Amino acid sequence: MGTLVGHVAPGFGFFLIGLWHLLNQIKLHAAHPRSYTSPPWFAASRLRYAELFAIMAGCCMSVAMELFVGPSRHQPLDSDWTIPSNHLHNFEHSLISASFFTYAAFAIVLDKTLTGPKTAKTRNGLTQLIGAVAFGQQLLLFRLHSTDHMGVEGQYHLLLQAVIVVSIATTLLGIAFPRSFLISFVRSVSILFQGVWLVIMGFMLWTPSLLPKRCFLNLEEGHDVVRCHSDEALHRAKSLVNIGFSWFLILITAFSVGLYLALVKIYGDTAEYQSLTKTAGLDEEEEEEEDGGESDDVESQKKIKFGETKSFIHVGNSKNFAALDIER
């Protein structure tokens, strides 16, 4: 980070993961509204761990860029093997990438180790917890960043931290409420928003023609920082950042809800239906365990009086029907 590419590249990664989750969450909920349970990640059709492998590959590239490719000597340490001041932010950024690499790696390990329906809740919960730790690490390092974030760049990072807080909160809530579509929906949108905002930061902070009036790029400690000629120019620049964030918040909200409406129209027709001819045995017990003791199928929960079965028609048993006078 600290450059245009350093923000745009990871931002594009967050955007793709957020969009991937958003599409799959909506599709899953539209097709299975009654049995919907949000997974922490989504398996691809051809390569099951494609999402997790992509996260791991992106994190490895990020660490390599921060610690070995970016520094002029292609290693971040000083001659006495200490960390120089101008490379502190490189280590901080690489730790964020390492946290998400840990999440993806353990997601694969947990999926291979904890198999079977009885361990699904524990597996998904632990994966969500590690994801929340990764977001927490991201928030902590951005909050306590060694780089001076008091100016325009600081305003961008402050608003980014607000989005990260939403990602942390919804990830933790997803552990307790895995069947809540709204929690999963907001989490996916927040990840997508992180990506969009990082891309915007990259272009707006390191493209001279896009800088606010009376602001300029100044080389400090090995990387360019936005500075303004006066306090008035700085306050104006921060206000422009707030306005831009508000515009993108509206646009992403409209995009997400519009995408939901479009996908529900496409996949909603394939929504699952439960037969009312279930026997009063194993199927009802499985429903109670899955739904927390209460079935979502309202019709199947109705009690049939006088020993009637749950099927629509019980062939061959005329006692279940009142006599009908056809002529009348």
Considering the domain architecture, whether residues 291 and 217 belong to the same structural domain is answered as: no
Number of domains in the chain: 2
Considering the domain architecture, whether residues 179 and 307 belong to the same structural domain is answered as: no
> Does a structural domain hold residue 328?
no
User: Is 9's pLDDT higher than 80?
Assistant: yes
Q: What confidence tens digit (pLDDT) does each residue in 94-125 have?
A: 999 999 999 999 999 999 999 888 899 999 99
Q: Which pair of structure tokens corresponds to residue 40?
A: 């922490």
Q: What confidence tens digit (pLDDT) does each residue in 52-106 have?
A: 999 999 999 999 998 988 777 778 888 888 888 878 888 889 999 999 999 999 9
Name the amino acid, one letter, at 78.
D
Considering the domain architecture, whether residues 178 and 240 belong to the same structural domain is answered as: yes
> Does a structural domain hold residue 209?
yes
Residue 1 banded pLDDT, cuts 50, 70, 90: low
| pLDDT at 219 (0 to 100) | 84
Considering the domain architecture, whether residues 174 and 59 belong to the same structural domain is answered as: yes
DSSP codes joined into one string, 38-106: --SS---SS-TTHHHHHHHHHHHHHHHIIIIISSTTSSS--TTSS--GGGHHHHHHHHHHHHHHHHHHH
Considering the domain architecture, whether residues 50 and 196 belong to the same structural domain is answered as: yes
Phi, psi of 228 (to 5 degrees): -120, 155
Residue 290 banded pLDDT, cuts 50, 70, 90: very low
Considering the domain architecture, whether residues 161 and 286 belong to the same structural domain is answered as: no
DSSP 315: T
Q: What confidence tens digit (pLDDT) does each residue in 128-182 have?
A: 999 999 999 999 999 887 666 678 999 999 999 999 999 999 999 999 999 999 9
Q: Which pair of structure tokens corresponds to residue 161?
A: 């931290």
> Does a structural domain hold residue 275?
no
Considering the domain architecture, whether residues 178 and 259 belong to the same structural domain is answered as: yes
pTM for the full predicted model: 0.80
Considering the domain architecture, whether residues 53 and 174 belong to the same structural domain is answered as: yes
Considering the domain architecture, whether residues 160 and 302 belong to the same structural domain is answered as: no
User: Is 18's pLDDT higher than 50?
Assistant: yes
Domain that holds residue 132: 4-270
